Structure formats: structure tokens, C-alpha cells
Structure 1
Amino acid sequence: MKKVTMFVWNHFTNDARVMRECMTLSEDGFDINLIAIENRKDPRAVKFEAINERFRVHRVPMYPWLLELYQNNKKEFIISVAGVTTVISPALFYKSWLLMSSYFIILAALYGAVKNNAARRNMIKLVRSAKMITKGYLQNADIYHSNDLNTLTQGVICSKLRLKPRKLVYDSHEVQTDRTGYNPKVIKRWEGALLPFVDETLVENHTRAEKHEELYGYYPHTLYNYSELFDIEERQKHDLHGQLGLPEDEKILLYQGGIQPGRGLELLVEMMPMVKEGTLVFIGDGRQKAELQEMVREMHLEDRVKFVPKVHLSELPGYTRNAYIGFQVLQNVNYNHYSASSNKLFEYIMAHVPVISCDFPEIRNVVEGEQVGLAIDAEHPRNIAEAVNRLVADEDLHDAFRSNCMRAKHKYNWNTEKQKLLDIYNAL
């Protein structure tokens, strides 16, 4: 049985793509250990979890334990350090004034790192990465698999710094060189320096594969982010109307996923005064959520815009099926967004929910090619509102899109992609 160690730079509570890959490999006889990040505030992100007999999740601490102690009770921590320093500094001085000076320099450096935001973040990443490397190296796998650039260094060290190097798969879910908050030149040098150690590279779609070839000179494998295939009627339905106090015939206009900047979510709120019928519902969490909630209050839209916390992947289809329309209105803030073919689109299709989407190439090819919704210029709230009003008013068009979803889901599902993953692994 081939042993595989995967790395992912998240808590692994809602990562649909990595879950599908691990389940596919474990069901085909591979032994999978996934290393993720622990979150003590989330009972789902525990230190160890057995998904099935051949798929286990190990999570490393989110923060160094000393930093966690400091954050939990700063005053008590500082008093304790001061007490220890008072006790041991005379002994250090007696041994060597240089030793005592070094001790105080280290203390000052650590305090400066904790107080400086950038230094603290880098220290946390470094310690977390070291813990991933230690755990991954000791697992002594046959194949290492790094999801995204954040874990590629870990994969290279664990797979190649050995007397007998192991195989390494690089699974890049994003265009790393053109993402919000990333320095393109630094990222390209970092990624380019590590790629020679990689045995197989996976990217999300052909648009991104072409970009990768332009940057690095070779065409990687594509593994589309399709939803698993299922019958939505067999999934337990969550009464979203009842949960939100809405009439049963109210049309739910749904966005599900991370509530983050660059996804056009503020435009969805801004469009609501122009929408003639329906309630906008956000399912998910993220750093833009508070901003959107404040917008809703300022615009007095509390009766027309609702928020639902993030739900588990296994339960999400039961919520999605309540929707009349699903939104995927990414904004062209970088090439990573422009080239996306995100899982959200295929989740809507699998639940037979017509889509209003941006008109970026990969998304437009599916929405227009399969006639499952309207692909529009989604950079203006009026355009989105007009598309919503059109679908709300034209029930025949909505029903046609819904029927096309039922057909398209048999084309755009994980069953059509997973054999590609198995072929790559079996060749390794």
C-alpha cells in the first residue's frame, strides 16, 4: 500500500477539493495522512481525526505555545517572565556577563517580534511550517503532496532531503503569482526555485495551465474543481425559509462560500434596492462579513438581506437546494480571479440552481455553454439586479436553466476528473 502525506495550509473543515482528492485516493487503496492546522476554537479542527481506515487528518498547532500563553493572559505571562528573569539573571551574571547579556538580547528580540505585526506573523508561519515538516518527515511517505505554495517548501524538504528521495506532487489551486496581497516578483522567484524538485504539477483548469506554461515553460496537468455527483433530492433539506422567518414562496437569492473582498459581495447588497423580488442570503464567514452587515444596516435592508454562518460541507447541499438563484460574481481584481472555475459554480449546478455569474472565460464557458444561467458584466450592481429581475420575472427561462442544470451536472462532476488524479498517482 502506497503511503501519501499531504499538506494543506488551512484547518481542513471546508476544503472540498482536498477532501475529494483524499477520499478518492484512500478508496483506491492509498494510505493518506493529511497535515493541516489545528483550531482550538473550532471543535471540527481537532488535533487528530480519522476520516476512514485509510485517511487520517493530523493538525499542527495554529500558534507557538509561548505566543498562545502570551495572548491568553498577557499580564500574567509578563509577570511570570519577569519573575523567572529576576531569579536566573544573577546566576547567569555569575557564570558570565556575556551569557546574561545574550539572555536579555534574546528576550528583547522575542518581545519585539511579538509586538511587531509583520514579525509576529512571520514567526508564526515559520514555527507552523517547521511543525508540519517534522510531522511529515517522520511519516516517511512514498509520495508527498503539497496543496498550494504555502506548503510546497514543506513538501520539498520532506520528499527530497533524504538518502532516497520520494515523489512530490504540487497541487496549485490558485495562480500564485497574481493574487491579492501577494508580491508577484517574490512569489515567482519562490515558486520557480521550488518547481525543479516537483515530479507532477496540477492546476485547476486549462486557462491556468496556459499561464503556468507561460511562466515556467511546461504545461501541467489540469484537475477541475467539480462537485461530487449526487441526487439533490436524496440530500436532507434544511428549511432555510423557516430558519430565516421567510414565507415558503419567497425566492432566495443565494451566495455561499467565503465572504471575502474581490468577490463582488458588496455589489450584491447594493443591487437589492433595484431588485423587485427576493431575499439575498449569504451562507459563510470571512473578513468582509462585518463590513457587509454594516452596509445592510446603513441601507435599512435588514428585511431583505440575511446572513447564515458557515455550514459543514456535508450539510451545504441541503441549504443550497432552497435557492432560486445562485451567485458567482467574482471581480477582475487579479488574474487569479479572472481565470477561476470555482467549486461554487458546480455546487449550484449540482443542486439544480440557475446561476448569475461574471463573464470570465472559464465560468462563462460553462454558464453559457450549458445554458444554466446568465453570464454578465458583474462589475456594476445595476447589471446584476437586471439579471435577477429577468430570471424572477421569466419563470419559463428559469425552469429551462434549472432543467439544463440537471443535464449539465452529469458532465461537470468529480467522477469525470478523479480518474485523472488516479492515473497520475498510479504512474508515480
Structure 2
Amino acid sequence: MKKVIISVTNDLVTDNRVHKVALSLQKMGFKVTLVGRKLPNSKKLDRRSYKTKRLKLFFKKGPLFYLEYNVRLLFFILQRKVDIILANDLDSLPANFIASKRKKRPLVYDSHELFTQVPELINRRRTQAIWERIESWILPQLEHAYTVCESIATFYNKKYSTSFQVIRNLPHREELLMVPPEKVLLADDRKIILYQGALNIGRGLEFAIKAMQYIDNARLLIAGDGDITKALMHLVADLELADRVTFLGKIPLSEMKYITAQANLGLSIEEDLGLNYRYALPNKLFDYIQHQVPVLVSNLPEMSKIVNRYQVGMILKSHDPEQMAHQLHEALFDMHLREHWIENLPQAAEELCWEKEEKILIDIFTPLKKSQGNKKESQQTS
């Protein structure tokens, strides 16, 4: 059985994309090992059908973390039998690239975002320049790569003449959930506005919280964790919105679907802070759609394209809290609009699912699987 090592720098608990990829490769007949890291507050992983390894690191963030992670990951891969190596995002790519050269094994690269254009790097030119140097060193040498949307694929193709295929971060197809009574979120009849995902700068969360000052009969639930969690909690306290805004923390994948299914509106309201957010096509958008929840999204090209095509929600006109509140109210309480969206959501959910998208992944890995098999056969007969 051919072996694939997949690596990513997060703790694996909520990374649905690498989980789906691992399951698809396992279905193809690969023996999969998924490598991440373990933090002091990392939750226990759900039982999975493939192997997982979370590295315990001394450094938790910053340059020394990335250096330590890549050194540890490099030795991990070099010490194991592997047929194909799959790197997720630029921060895991150096170790995977060096290991692929040393072991003479094919490397596949999954770019979840425009890493060098994330808001956290835009105003840190020295750090950004280091990552750009790493990117310009490795990306032109890649033969097998894919990313989450057409805009990012086009960007990399123009910049490095590297061909990226597109595998969107779509969820598995699910029937409408029957939510068990013990998982029901609210005991009252207020509408649920949901944000799920990382709590980082540029996600529009500060504006959504401020908008809750102007909305009655609704509650904003925030599921996730990140760099600005504490700042957001302080903002809620300062505005005295504890009865309207609830932080759910980081939710395991197996539980998150029950929360999503109860929402009346899903938010994906990233700000236009550089190319990474401008080209964003977040998995939460597709999770909302899969659970047939109407959406409110930023007026950015990839997200607005989905909403306009499938007519499943509203496009945000402004991040101004009062104007946002007006749109939130309309999206929650205008029954004519909601009936139109709810009528369209089943077809969108049927089309925007991993079962259809994974065919591209299979097309990438099938030739690699065959070529590795042929190499082993030739080595055995020589």
C-alpha cells in the first residue's frame, strides 16, 4: 500500500480541508499519515481512520516556531517510508520540499491561501520578504500543485509560471440534519447569526459585534479561536452585548455541523486587506450552504460570484455597523428574500460538495500512485 505523509502547522482539530483530503486519499488506497502540532490548549482529536501525529514544540509562534516545526517535520519524514509527500501552505513547504529531494519522492502542494499576502504580514515587510523568498525559491520548481480558487491559481501562474489546479474547500454532501434536543443552542425564539472559523484580523468580526447594538430578536454566535479572541471579548464587554454575542470557542468537526444547522444566517464578511482576503473563498461559506443556511458575504470577487450564481444570500454593501445591521435585519426577517434563498439552497448544496470536487484530487494523485508503483517494480526486477 502506497504511503502519503500530509503535513500542516495547525493542531488538526478544526482543519476540515486536510481531513477531507486524507479521507479521499485513503479511499484511493493510500496509507495516510497526517502531521500537525499540539498546543497546550489543543483538544483531543476525534478518532480517525488514518494515522495522525501532532508534534509537541517548544516554541509556539514567531520565526523560531516555524524553524523548529520545519526541522522536526523534516526529520519525521526522512525517518519514515513514504511514496508521496503533501504539503499544506507555505509554512510547511520548506521541510516537505527538502524531504522530497532527499528521498526522491514526488511533492504535492496545497495552497490554502495567498500566504505572503495575509494581513498579518502586509505591514511587516521584513518577515513578508523572507516568506516571499522561500516562495520564489520553491514554487517555480513544483510539478504538482493546487489551490482553493481560480484567482489564486491565476496569481501563482502569472508570478511563477507554475500551474495550479483548483480544488475548492467544499464540504461532504449531507442531508438536512435533525438536531438532537441536547444540542439545541437557544431556548428562546431569537434568530441565530453564525460566524465560524478563525478569529483573526480582517474577518469583519469587530463590525459584526458592533452591528448587534442595532438588532433586536437576534443573537450572534462566534465559533472559533484566534489571535484577536480576547480583543473581541473585551469589545463585547465594553459594549455590554453579552446577551447578544456568545463565544463558543473552538468546536470539533463532528460537533460543528449541529451548530451550523441551527443558524438562520451565516457570515463570511472578510475585509479587503490585501490580495489574500480579496481572493478569499472560505470553507465556512460552503458549510453554510451545505446545511442550507442563507449567507451574508463581503463584496469580494470569489465569494460574490458564488452568491450571485446560486442566489443563496446577500452581498454586504458596507462594513459600517449601522448599515451592516440594516442588512442583517433584512436577511433575517424579509420573508420574501428568505423564501427565494431557501428555495435555491438545496440545488447549491447538491452541486457544491466534496464528492464532486475530490475528482480533481483523484486526477492529480492517480498518475503519481502509478508512477511510484512502476518505480518499485523496476527496482525489484533490476
Distance 1:274 1:34 in 2: 45
Q: Is the 8 A contact 1:5 1:139 kept in 2?
A: no
- Residue 239 of structure 1 is matched in structure 2 by 184
Q: Is the 8 A contact 2:119 2:201 kept in 1?
A: no
- Residue 95 of structure 1 is matched in structure 2 by none
Distance 1:123 1:392 in 2: 46
Determine helix, strand or coil for the equivalent of 2:281.
Answer: coil
Determine helix, strand or coil for the equivalent of 1:145.
Answer: strand
Q: Is the 8 A contact 2:109 2:145 kept in 1?
A: yes
Distance 1:308 1:383 in 2: 26
Q: Is the 8 A contact 1:256 1:344 kept in 2?
A: yes
User: What is the deviation of 1:408?
Assistant: 0.5
- Residue 151 of structure 2 is matched in structure 1 by 207
How big is each residue's C-alpha offset from its partner over 1:6-55, in whole Å with a ceiling of 9 and x where there is no partner? 1111111110100000001001101111121123433415xxx9722xx2
Distance 2:277 2:15 in 1: 18
Determine if the alignment matches structure 1 residue 51 to structure 2 residue 48. Answer: yes
Q: Is the 8 A contact 1:235 1:317 kept in 2?
A: no
Correspondent of 1:313 among 242, 247, 253:
253
Where in structure 2 are there 5+ consecutive unaligned residues?
Answer: 369-382
Distance 1:276 1:42 in 2: 35
Q: Name the count of aligned residue pairs.
A: 362
| RMSD value, Cα | 1.9
TM-score by length of 2: 0.90
Q: Is the 8 A contact 1:277 1:392 kept in 2?
A: no
- The percent identity for this pair of structures is 28
Where in structure 1 are there 5+ consecutive unaligned residues?
Answer: 69-119
Matched residue type, 1:144: I
Determine helix, strand or coil for the equivalent of 1:130.
Answer: helix
Determine helix, strand or coil for the equivalent of 1:365.
Answer: helix
Matched residue type, 1:239: V
How big is each residue's C-alpha offset from its partner over 1:278-313, in whole Å with a ceiling of 9 and x where there is no partner? 111112222222212222222222222222122111
Matched residue type, 2:185: L
Distance 2:34 2:347 in 1: 34
| Higher Cα radius of gyration | 1
User: What is the deviation of 1:235?
Assistant: 5.9
Determine if the alignment matches structure 1 residue 424 to structure 2 residue 368. Answer: no
- Residue 30 of structure 1 is matched in structure 2 by 30
- Residue 132 of structure 1 is matched in structure 2 by 73
Q: How does 1:376-387 map to 2 (within 5 A)?
A: 376-387=316-327
- Residue 91 of structure 1 is matched in structure 2 by none
Q: Is the 8 A contact 1:271 1:384 kept in 2?
A: yes
- Residue 228 of structure 2 is matched in structure 1 by 288
User: What is the deviation of 1:126?
Assistant: 2.3
How big is each residue's C-alpha offset from its partner over 1:94-123, in whole Å with a ceiling of 9 and x where there is no partner? xxxxxxxxxxxxxxxxxxxxxxxxxx9433
- Residue 58 of structure 2 is matched in structure 1 by 63
Give the 3 Å change call, closer, same or farther, for CA 25–234 of structure 1 in structure 2: farther
- Residue 89 of structure 2 is matched in structure 1 by 148
Determine helix, strand or coil for the equivalent of 1:315.
Answer: helix
Determine helix, strand or coil for the equivalent of 1:166.
Answer: coil
Matched residue type, 1:386: H
Determine helix, strand or coil for the equivalent of 1:218.
Answer: coil
Determine helix, strand or coil for the equivalent of 2:359.
Answer: helix
- Residue 371 of structure 1 is matched in structure 2 by 311
TM-score by length of 1: 0.80
- Residue 96 of structure 1 is matched in structure 2 by none
Distance 2:268 2:195 in 1: 7
Matched residue type, 2:48: I
Distance 2:20 2:281 in 1: 16
Distance 1:363 1:340 in 2: 7
Matched residue type, 1:232: L
Q: How does 1:51-200 map to 2 (within 5 A)?
A: 51-52=48-49, 55-63=50-58, 121-162=62-103, 165-182=104-121, 183=125, 184-200=128-144
Correspondent of 2:351 among 402, 405, 411:
411
User: What is the deviation of 1:234?
Assistant: 4.8
Determine if the alignment matches structure 1 residue 356 to structure 2 residue 296. Answer: yes
Distance 1:378 1:16 in 2: 30
Q: Is the 8 A contact 1:148 1:173 kept in 2?
A: yes
Q: Is the 8 A contact 1:14 1:312 kept in 2?
A: yes
Distance 1:11 1:273 in 2: 35
Distance 2:32 2:285 in 1: 28
- Residue 164 of structure 2 is matched in structure 1 by 220
User: What is the deviation of 1:314?
Assistant: 1.2
Distance 2:173 2:362 in 1: 17
Distance 2:41 2:272 in 1: 34
Q: Which deviates the most, 36-45 or 151-160?
A: 36-45
Matched residue type, 2:101: K
Q: Is the 8 A contact 1:357 1:378 kept in 2?
A: no
Q: Which runs of 4+ in 1 moved over 4 A?
A: 234-237
Determine helix, strand or coil for the equivalent of 1:192.
Answer: helix
- Residue 263 of structure 2 is matched in structure 1 by 323
How big is each residue's C-alpha offset from its partner over 1:312-336, in whole Å with a ceiling of 9 and x where there is no partner? 1111110111111111100011110
Distance 1:401 1:124 in 2: 44
Determine helix, strand or coil for the equivalent of 1:417.
Answer: helix
User: What is the deviation of 1:423?
Assistant: 0.9
Matched residue type, 1:340: A
